Amino acid sequence: EAVRHLAFVLYARHDFAGAAREATKAIALDPTDGHAYGVLGDAYLEVGKYAQAQDALQRIIDLARDLYSYSRLAGLKSLQGDTAGAIEDLKQAVQEGQAQDRPQEHIAWAQWQLGNEYFALGDLKEAEGQYRAALATSPHYYRALAGLAQVHAAQQRYPEAIDLYQQALAIIPLPDYAAALGDVYMQLDHPDEAQKQYALVAYIGYLHSLNKI
């Protein structure tokens, strides 16, 4: 477990070669460690080794068909452009998560990802349905709030989008949300409000740079 934890740490530091190395060691110590295969697969994905990632993620499925394994496989399929396959795996992830009583936020994460896949297809109705399902599973889930805001912005329902982005930013001030909110203000021809959000993006980036020192 300590070796796998080191693999997680290295992955978080974007040392993908090191993460793959340590994950491989963890697997050698315990060939049933699905989380180690997950780190290995993710590390391979980051460096574009899709065949190796496929092998690692398939091992997770072989070990356990659950929310974790289906979500990981869906991520690979999404990167490969197989949106239909990703959607089916995410539906399985949600179903297994609910059946196995997994943490609500984990289930909501899979529902949010489903919303993203539908949004990428331009299916705003299904995307909205999945984002709302995620919020029903985990109220105030910031990713789903931002996803729903994205749908409303695409529908030109700008006041609703502003409210939802503000809610998401109040929970976690992510620069992507601030930038998207700024774009909505620009659509409404409110450049002053937009500039406030763009300035927030820069400030968040500045704080992030300080944390790296």
Q: Is the pLDDT of residue 210 over 90?
A: no
pLDDT at 212 over 70: no
Give the count of beta carbons closer than 10 Å to the beta carbon of residue 55. Answer: 14
Query: At which residue do the structure tokens 């994460």 appear?
Result: 109
pLDDT at 14 over 70: yes
Calpha distance 192→144 (Å, rounded): 27
> Which residue has better confidence, 64 or 106?
106
Query: Two tokens at 5?
Result: 């934890």
Q: pLDDT tens digits, residue range 66-78?
A: 998 899 889 889 9
Please count the other Cβ atoms lying within 10 Å of the Cβ belonging to residue 176. Answer: 12
Do residues 93 and 70 make contact, with C-beta atoms less than 8 angstroms apart? yes
Global pTM value: 0.84
> pLDDT at position 61, please?
86
pLDDT digits (tens, 9 = 90+) for 128-183: 999 999 999 999 999 999 999 999 999 999 999 999 999 999 999 999 999 999 99
**166: closest CA among 187, 180, 186, 151?**
180
Instruction: Please report which confidence band the pLDDT of residue 207 belongs to, taking 50, 70 and 90 as the band edges.
Output: confident
Helix or strand holding residue 212 (H, E): helix 191-212
pLDDT of 26 strictly over 60: yes
Average pLDDT value for residue range 41-64:
90
pLDDT value at residue 9: 93
The 8-class DSSP code of residue 197 comes to H
Tokens coding 72: 């990981």
Name the band, by pLDDT with cuts 50, 70 and 90, for residue 18: very high
pLDDT given at position 200: 93
| 213 residue type, one letter | I
Contact 165, 183 (CB under 8 A): no
What's the average model confidence in pLDDT over 1-11? 90
